[in-house]
Amino acid sequence: MKEAVGKVERVEHSKNIKKGIKNRVGEFLIENLIFVLGITSVLIIALIFMFLLRTGLRVFLDVSPKEFFLGKYWFPVSKNPQYGILPIVAGSLMVTLGAILISVPIGVGSAIFISEVAPPKTKTALKVIIEFLSAIPSVVLGFLGIVVLSNWVRISFSLTSGFTVLTGSILVSLMAMPTIISISDDAIRSLPEEYKEASLALGATKWETIRYVLIPAASSGIIAAVMLGIGRAIGETMTVMMVTGNAAQIPNSFLVSGRTMTATIAAEMGDTVRGGTHYHALFAVGIVLLSMTTVINLIADFVLSRAKREAR
Amino acid sequence: MVNQNKKNIEQKLAFSILGLAMLLVIIPTVLIIGFIIYKGIGAISIEFITAMPRRGMTQGGIFPAIVGTLYLVSGTLAVALPLGIGSAIYLTEYAKKGKVLKIVRLAILNLAGVPSVVYGLFGLGLFVLFLQFGQSIIAGALTLACLILPVIITASEEALKSVPQSYREASLALGATKWQTVRSVVLPHAMPGILTGAILGIGRAAGETAPILLTVVAFFLPRLPKSVLDQVMALPYHLYIISTQIPNMPEEIKYGTALVLLGIVSIFFIIATVIRIKFKISKKA
């Protein structure tokens, strides 16, 4: 009897050891698998940079950096091709500037309305609608830009064509809006409740509290929101390709047509010879674009993390 | 008292201006959706959804574009979901806090801000040309997967972080291993949040045009793909083509295509919203 119990115990024990080993091997495998998955995203970013650089930098074998960065003419398919990116950089900046001028006041105003003025139920509904705005595919907005907005712009400003920088800016502002609103709203709501209570207790009205306490305190979050909005606006492709008229000229007003960097890549990539100068030049435009959005994102991240530290 | 009145008027004025700003966002959104539905609903029929396009796309349906979009979306999902959730588990549960983790986080954050057309260039360079997949479903799906990876990772991380630490401690104290804890305690609790993020990511992939423009889509292809190395038509690109490149395109086909695309994206959005409301997940992405 005693022996039998001992035997059972021994069997149990060796089973446990086996189970332990199996667990440990499993753990080891899983941990490494997950580690590999974890570093994949970093690899992807490294690969993106590598592929862009590898292909894009070859443009400088044929075009001098001075001509590329400071050239005023982008005529890649003319007999005497010219690869100056100033007009398309200017086009991108102009569309973005217009979009930001529209979306910042409206977006920040809406964020304050949502976080401080609207009753709770309205708040939820408004947020769902705004999120849905960000879900509308950009090609659908571009389509509406062609059939509706461009006519409106043409008639309102008595132009010959409604495909202008302004048309692009209006639509892109709609796309930057959800980013600006939701991040500003987060920034305002994450402020300590005491700020508001102290101000109200001192007899300030709700509006005075918002204006003199909450907005200044949330300002770094709001700035980060605007930066991320700018990033979205610069990177937007389809809509601007469809409605800005695509003339590679340095725009001197919002009412002329222009061409952005993103639209240049998307529109011209299909027709180029793989491995030719034009092909390399488009990748180089990609590098410029990626560098701009990276800098903007890093600044936004810096401002945001500082804001978080301040809030604590 | 007079002063108080003045303040009240000022507050009313300020709140009205803020409300006006809000309306300037809400009204266009509602108008856009309403307009597309109003103009597009007449085009929707069984034939429109299930037939091949005819006569240079000016007649018939958009079936191959719908199928192409669904193929791309499922391919994207198959790649991005395990990769994204795996990354998130690694980052929240396993990675040691320090410089490396900071760099990885920054890389992911940056990945989220990369313009979609740059993903297109990357996909063209890596998948289409370097790996020689050619313009194909697999090249497009991989490109889209890279694009939505940061969305899925960020959402999954938020979800995993919101599982209380005490759950993990209790499970480990009962003798469960780390992976057992993650698999049977942490993941089930984080699942609604992860799903929400994933579905929103897929919705985004379904509507993207620029990346697939360079890596997969065909202008006109009135048949279905036979393998993952085939080209396909896709709804967003189809809408782009018929609204910019083809003269005399019947209006209703354009609005109909826009409505179907908006419909597919909305379905994903609505599912994600329902899950979020049901599980009361806060949105942070």
Q: Could you report the predicted ipTM of this complex, rounded to two decimals?
A: 0.91
Smallest Cβ–Cβ distance between A266 and the set B14, B17, B210 belongs to B210
Q: How far is CA A120 from the centre of its chain?
A: 29
What CATH code is carried by the domain that includes residue B135? Answer: 1.10.3720.10
Smallest Cβ–Cβ distance between A293 and the set B108, B115, B210 belongs to B115
Contacts of B210 in chain A (CB under 8 A): 237-238, 262, 266
What span, in angstroms and rounded, lies between the C-alpha atoms of A157 and B58?
33
Give residue-wise pLDDT tens across range B67-84: 999 999 999 999 999 888
Measured between CB atoms, does B177 come within 8 Å of chain A?
Answer: yes
What span, in angstroms and rounded, lies between the C-alpha atoms of A113 and A126?
10
Following DSSP, what letter does each residue of A201-218 receive, concatenated? HTT--HHHHIIIIIHHHT
* CB contact residues (below 8 A), chain B span 134-163, against chain A: 146, 149-150, 153
Q: What is the mean pLDDT of chain B?
A: 88
Give residue-wise pLDDT tens across range A141-168: 999 999 999 999 999 999 888 999 999 9
Is residue B42 assigned to a domain? no
What span, in angstroms and rounded, lies between the C-alpha atoms of B166 and A233?
43
Furthest CA-CA distance within chain A: 105
DSSP B130: I
**How many structural domains are present in chain A?**
2
Mean pLDDT of A216-220: 91
Q: Which range is least confidently modeled, A292-296, B48-52, B55-59, B99-103?
A: B55-59
Same domain, A184 and A240: yes
What CATH code is carried by the domain that includes residue A263? Answer: 1.10.3720.10
Residue A84 pLDDT > 70, yes or no?
Answer: yes
What span, in angstroms and rounded, lies between the C-alpha atoms of A278 and A269?
9
Is residue B201 assigned to a domain? yes
Mean pLDDT of A232-258: 91
Could you tell me which residue, A4 or A58, shows the higher pLDDT? A58
Residue B169 belongs to domain spanning: 63-284
Buried residues in A284-300 as b, exposed as e (16+ CB within 10 A): bbbbbbbebbbebbebb
**How many structural domains are present in chain B?**
1
Residue B285 pLDDT > 50, yes or no?
Answer: no
Residue A1 pLDDT > 60, yes or no?
Answer: no
Contact B149 A110 (CB under 8 A): no
Listed residues A21, A42, A61: the one ending a domain = A61
Residue A43 belongs to domain spanning: 2-61
Give residue-wise pLDDT tens across range B94-115: 888 888 788 878 888 888 888 9
Same domain, A124 and A249: yes
Same domain, A272 and A289: yes
How far CA A219 is from CA of A72, A103, A191, in Å, comes to 38, 16, 11
Q: Which range is least confidently modeled, A129-133, A233-237, B177-181?
A: B177-181
